[in-house]
Amino acid sequence: MRVAVTHVIRFIEETAAILQDQRHYLTELDAAIGDADHGANLDRGFSAVLARLPGVAEMDIGSILKTVGATLVSTVGGASGSLYGTAFLRAGSVTADRFELSPEDLVAALESALEGIQARGKAQLGEKTMIDAIAPGIDALKQALAAGDDLVVALRKGVAASGEGTQATASMIATKGRASYLGERSLGHQDPGAASAFLMAQALLKVIESSE
């Protein structure tokens, strides 16, 4: 299976829907260790993205993703706007002029997005951030594809690993971002950025599964 422009558009729409539905949940997670605005910020940002989608729906995948990234940077407050905005901008750069992506192309876009987040946030795996959800998911996806799984099966394994990574953040002490100010008091709380990244992964899987 290959990922087309229509899949990308539907992924963005599904992401906006799931973030709106879970905005209070994400804000509750953020209230424990952050500024209590993660859900509201992302909902506002993706609402702005939806408003701009009709103008780019016929463009290449790279242009669509770059539009998402630029919109998030300009409309989302806090670190999440910069981090997710950079992720979409980086993914857009490696998919420029493409109207269809192979599974390997998708992995390359996801890896570029992760590299952008790491560069912008100066964070690594194990520091209680969204990286702890994203990196394991990409690794599991790559391993499954290398083992011969089709994209749907590989994505299921990737999303499962992302969920496990998200849950694991509850046992970590934050060393990056607003939560790092709490030190050991951040223990026992799931990272909101990891949670939102997991929701986005679920949105992608839902779109790909429905196209199977």
Whole-number pLDDT of residue 13: 98
Q: How far apart are CA 83 and CA 97, in angstroms?
A: 24
Which residue shows structure tokens 């906006």? 16
- Rounded mean pLDDT of the chain? 92
**Is the pLDDT reported for residue 173 higher than 80?**
no
| Other CB atoms within 10 Å distance of the CB of residue 98 | 20
Q: Are 195 and 23 in contact (CB under 8 A)?
A: no
Whole-number pLDDT of residue 133: 98
- DSSP track, the chain: --EEHHHHHHHHHHHHHHHHHTHHHHHHHHHHHS-S-HHHHHHHHHHHHHHHGGGTTTS-HHHHHHHHHHHHHHH--HHHHHHHHHHHHHHHHHTTT-SEE-HHHHHHHHHHHHHHHHHHHT--TTSSSTHHHHHHHHHHHHHHHHTT--HHHHHHHHHHHHHHHHHHGGGSPP-SSGGGGGGGGGTT---HHHHHHHHHHHHHHHHHHHT-
State which amino acid sits at residue 191.
D
Q: What is the pLDDT of residues 56-65, one digit of tens each?
A: 999 999 999 9
- Residue 57: domain span: 3-210
Which residue shows structure tokens 């690794």? 139
Better-scored residue on pLDDT, 155 or 79: 155
Whole-number pLDDT of residue 118: 95
What percentage of the chain has pLDDT greater than the value 90? 78
Better-scored residue on pLDDT, 57 or 33: 57
- Number of domains observed in the structure of the chain: 1
Q: What is the pLDDT of residues 89-112, one digit of tens each?
A: 999 999 999 999 999 999 999 999
Q: How far apart are CA 30 and CA 108, in angstroms?
A: 30
pTM of the complete model beyond 0.95? no
Structure confidence at residue 37 as a pLDDT band (50, 70, 90): confident
Supply the CATH number for residue 22's domain.
1.25.40.340
